[in-house]
């Protein structure tokens, strides 16, 4: 996790890596990636959708990545391909200093238990702590100040940024990216009440993350009560997300920031939850459901589609009048029905 | 905080500890706890409510914990008692590797100020930092990477998981459990505006947590402006919760994930706040209030009971039509009243 | 970041520092600041608004800070000035143990790369990690367990409390205060979908924080995708806030706890976002907008003013009836319009 200046690529190299059609000088040296507006002559830019076309003619970029249909409007060298947004994603990884090769070093201040199983070229940062029985796969990077609890397993090429906490008994697949402040495997929220006070239900399950999972900063995924909390492959989780015990999330689903999912709810594959969405506990959400931002879901959803709740913001003075009417809504509905009954059809 | 395999208990031992009626072979060795579905012959399961009865006949568990009224349906050895869910909670603690006896060691990499008062058998993990004047009671466990600020006091048998931050001048009772990423005693959000910019109001109060408080991962409890922020005994706080300065919460209340409570609000005893609930500042919520998930409370509540706000999710196409009408709601109410006036009673 | 008892000030000294009119014994020694109710004879209290006037006559404070119009009701020595709340803010800083002079020490357990540029009197706490190429200005304090990534710059007099994470390539202005658990510069949430799975868009932008920015505990500000995420001067951010990639926030704006702002949204200057407010992505919010707690904003706002959404809490039984009617609201509106058509004007 150093921060080197990328040495860059020739435009021809980039064309080969992206399988793109090169039009222009292939020897051009490209040192970075930028927007059409900001790009310098040693950078490459891209046109991912039509709304940016107006900036194409004035770009100072050395080259532009775009769909062939926009080629004629491009004033500089270009790489043509069918899906420029996807190509931008791949290109961005080439220029990411964080994703550059790990150094394969274990910092002398890291505290690594004797029996930890370390794959090849594992990097462990300063002041990280790896407890007994943990296993780190090949080329795993554990950032400064991270904690990996007893017996937890982290798959090959996974990256824990600084100050990540992985509790005991957690299993993480390959190529995971866990951002700073995230906590995997803290106790779920389980208590039994004896009529006067709470008794803790020890959380004996673990957490299982599939391959290619990303977890944002300050997000938490709680361990299961008895069975595991399970996150599928290629699930992408943004920052400040809370996933309670025994939740299960299907492959390829994406959760935006501040989402909260209560205990034992199952989310299908290829679902998208907008920012701040809340799912109540013990629900089943089928595959292909998209819930828009800040919606509250209290019932299971059995049909793919887009779902919403709440009301959009309006001027406060107007809102106050309407919000107070909301409390009269059932009464209004009954009065409306009575009126209909006693009003002759026009 | 090691992760040993529990050596287990005989069924007779468990019957004695739980004060349950044993029916079956008391010498049976029980090594763990599982659901009826998942339990193996060396594990014990439980029936906490009727909805799981259908899984009882097919269980492979060595024994089952249940109410006497369900005894006849149990195909294996059993422990009978009046409150199986509570007994499950107590049983879960017996099998929890985290709650096993602390090791009473102070890791050589921990930085502990000279004058810190340490009780008996205190355990301090690698890279933890305990500042001057702090006091840790008997059998306190401070996990790896934790910070305990100057003069803070942590009561006996409290457990700080890895990477917890307790700021200066915080008082925590006995048997607290603080999960990873939680922050107790950061500054409350206080500023005075001079007409052009903000001036910080130093937060000079502390935080007081009673006995038996649990705080979930990535939750924050801010210190008071002048007086303390006060959390009562046996208060249970889930993950991603924000408690602002000078909030007071009564005994035995429980706050689910993502709750936010604004400054100076007082919550009574035995309250339950659902996930994502928001309480505005300077409110008084009486004892015994239950607020359902994602509700917004902007007025004090003086009667115990269940409170809610918001609207449930629906298909987006339907929602768009209704949400736009919400903005016309006051107008609709006025038109309805006018119609009623000019429509003769049927 | 030690926790000394303040040695205090004479009342005359405080009058001079605050430019207040002193009435009473200027030699009185003031050791602290408290509320009218709690203040002891060696403490000073204040009257910031009329609602506290009733507590003035019975105060045991040694002196009181107040507006001249309330002078006659004050039973003890007093400091008179035009804006007592602002004066309280300034006074609070005098008595804040955290803001006392840093010690200018680099703890021997801190891991500081050789080429880090350190200003005068920089303090770095135990187990902190400062990566290569970072720059820390004069009198910067980095708390225990903090991480500052490669090439990041932190302006003079900034304070990072314990366990803060600043990723690589982040620029922070002067006098910033970052609270524990906050994360600046983790990756934004960017992925391209190829029809079957997600591809990560490396987040190559940084984060720029202006001068006098405060960030609450467990809050996260994500780095930009290509350009930077930019937080203006004197912006105050509470706990548990999520700011997504490429968001821009204007000077002097304040964000209460649990706010979430989606990607590329621009918030103007002097805005105030209440607790739990959510802003959708790619919006423009003009200067001087105030959004009340837990509102959802899905459209740009072009006029200053107060905005709200949602509905307030009510008894659950009442709420259930009204919430179900919300789903019929468009139907109700159509029926109401039809009724109006067929009902003759009174």
What is the per-residue pLDDT for A346?
53
Q: Which chain B residues are Cβ-neighbours of C163 within 8 angstroms?
A: 145, 147, 163, 165, 183
pLDDT class of C280 with cuts at 50, 70, 90: very high
Among A227-231, A333-337, C226-230, C304-308, where is mean pLDDT lowest?
Answer: A333-337
pLDDT class of C346 with cuts at 50, 70, 90: low
CA atoms of A87 and A46, how far apart (whole Å): 9
User: Contact A200/B326, CB-based, under 8 Å?
Assistant: no
What is the per-residue pLDDT for C7?
78
User: Contact C198/A98, CB-based, under 8 Å?
Assistant: no
> Between B296, B335, B342, which is nearest C313 by CB?
B296
Instruction: Single out the residue of A192, A188, A109, A184 nearest to residue A152, CA to CA.
Output: A184
Q: What is the pLDDT of residues C5-34, one digit of tens each?
A: 467 999 999 999 999 999 999 999 999 999
What is the per-residue pLDDT for B49?
83
Selected residues 247-266 of chain B with any CB under 8 Å from a CB in chain C: 258, 260, 262
C183 in contact with chain A, both atoms CB, cutoff 8 A? yes
What is the per-residue pLDDT for A99?
54
Nearest CA in chain B to A328: B333
Q: What is the ipTM of this complex?
A: 0.94
What is the per-residue pLDDT for B300?
97
**How far is Cα of residue A286 from the mean position of the Cα atoms in its chain?**
20
**Is a pLDDT exceeding 60 seen at residue B78?**
yes
All chains having 3 or more CB pairs closer than 8 angstroms to chain C:
A, B
Q: Count the residues in chain B.
A: 346
SS3 state of residue C32: strand
Nearest CA in chain A to C294: A294
Q: What is the pLDDT of residues B85-142, one digit of tens each?
A: 999 999 999 988 765 555 679 999 999 999 999 999 999 999 999 999 999 999 999 9
Instruction: Single out the residue of C246, A226, A14, C55 nearest to residue B65, CA to CA.
Output: A226
- Catalytic residue IDs of B: 245
CA atoms of C164 and C172, how far apart (whole Å): 13
What is the per-residue pLDDT for C223?
98
User: Contact C276/B280, CB-based, under 8 Å?
Assistant: no
Nearest CA to CA, how far is C342 from chain A (Å)? 5
User: Contact C163/B167, CB-based, under 8 Å?
Assistant: no
SS3 state of residue B68: helix
User: Contact B93/A165, CB-based, under 8 Å?
Assistant: no
Q: Which residue has the tokens 């090429």?
A: A157
Task: Calculate the average pLDDT of chain C.
Answer: 94
The average pLDDT across C306-322 equals 92
All chains having 3 or more CB pairs closer than 8 angstroms to chain A:
B, C
Q: What is the pLDDT of residues C51-60, one digit of tens each?
A: 888 999 999 9
CA atoms of B199 and B223, how far apart (whole Å): 18
- Chain A interface mutation, best of C178, C188, C237, C296, highest count of A Cβ atoms under 10 Å: C296
Token reading at A346: 């026009």
Token reading at C113: 């790369």
User: Contact B181/A296, CB-based, under 8 Å?
Assistant: no
User: Contact A345/C343, CB-based, under 8 Å?
Assistant: no
pTM comes to: 0.95
Token reading at A124: 């462990």
Among A60-74, C95-109, C199-213, C255-269, where is mean pLDDT lowest?
Answer: C95-109
**Residues of chain A predicted below pLDDT 70:** 1-6, 98-103, 345-346
Q: Which chain B residues are Cβ-neighbours of C241 within 8 angstroms?
A: none
Q: Which chain C residues are Cβ-neighbours of A85 within 8 angstroms?
A: 192
Question: Which residues contact residue A182 at a Cβ distance below 8 angstroms, ignoring those fewer than 6 apart?
Answer: A164, A165, A215, A216, A217, A218, A219, A220, A221, B181
Pairing of strands C63-66, C43-46: parallel
What is the per-residue pLDDT for C3?
40
What is the per-residue pLDDT for A2?
37
Selected residues 88-147 of chain B with any CB under 8 Å from a CB in chain C: 109, 111, 127, 129, 131-133, 145, 147
> Between C198, C324, C326, which is nearest A234 by CB?
C198
What is the per-residue pLDDT for B1?
35
What is the per-residue pLDDT for C182?
98
**Is a pLDDT exceeding 70 seen at residue C44?**
yes
DSSP code, position B301: B
What is the per-residue pLDDT for A4?
43
Catalytic one of C245, C252, C282, C302: C245
A2 in contact with chain C, both atoms CB, cutoff 8 A? yes
User: Contact A127/B127, CB-based, under 8 Å?
Assistant: yes
């Amino acid at each position: 996790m150093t921060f080197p200046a990328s040495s860059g690529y020739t435009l021809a190299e980039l064309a080969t890596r992206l399988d793109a059609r090169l039009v222009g000088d292939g020897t051009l040296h490209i040192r970075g990636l930028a927007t059409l507006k900001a790009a310098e002559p040693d950078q490459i830019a891209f046109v991912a959708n039509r709304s940016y076309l107006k900036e194409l003619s004035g770009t100072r970029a050395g080259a532009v990545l775009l769909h062939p249909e926009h080629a004629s409007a491009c004033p500089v060298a270009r790489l043509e391909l069918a899906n420029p947004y996807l190509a931008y994603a791949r290109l961005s990884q080439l220029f990411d200093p964080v994703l550059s090769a790990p150094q394969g070093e274990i910092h002398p201040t890291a505290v690594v238990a004797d029996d930890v199983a370390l794959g090849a070229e594992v990097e462990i940062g300063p002041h990280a702590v790896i407890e007994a029985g943990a296993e780190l796969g090949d080329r795993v990077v554990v950032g400064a100040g991270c904690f990996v609890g007893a017996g937890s397993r982290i798959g090959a090429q996974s990256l824990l940024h600084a100050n990540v906490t992985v509790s005991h008994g957690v299993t993480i697949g390959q190529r995971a990216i866990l951002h700073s402040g995230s906590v995997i495997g803290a106790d779920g929220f389980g208590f039994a009440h004896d009529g006067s006070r709470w008794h803790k239900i020890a959380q004996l399950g673990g957490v299982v993350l599939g391959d290619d999972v990303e977890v944002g900063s300050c997000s938490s995924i709680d361990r299961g009560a008895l069975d595991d909390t399970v996150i599928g492959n290629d699930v992408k989780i943004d920052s400040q997300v809370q996933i309670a015990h025994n939740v299960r999330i299907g492959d390829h689903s994406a959760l935006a920031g501040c989402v909260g999912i209560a205990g034992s709810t199952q989310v299908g594959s290829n679902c998208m939850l907008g920012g701040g969405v809340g799912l109540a506990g013990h629900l089943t959400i089928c595959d292909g459901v998209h819930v828009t931002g800040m919606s509250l879901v209290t019932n299971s959803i059995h049909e793919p589609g887009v779902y919403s709740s709440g009301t959009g913001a309006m001027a406060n003075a107007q809102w106050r009048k309407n919000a107070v009417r909301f409390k009269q809504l059932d009464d209004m509905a009954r009065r409306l029905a009575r009126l209909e009954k006693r009003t002759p059809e026009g």
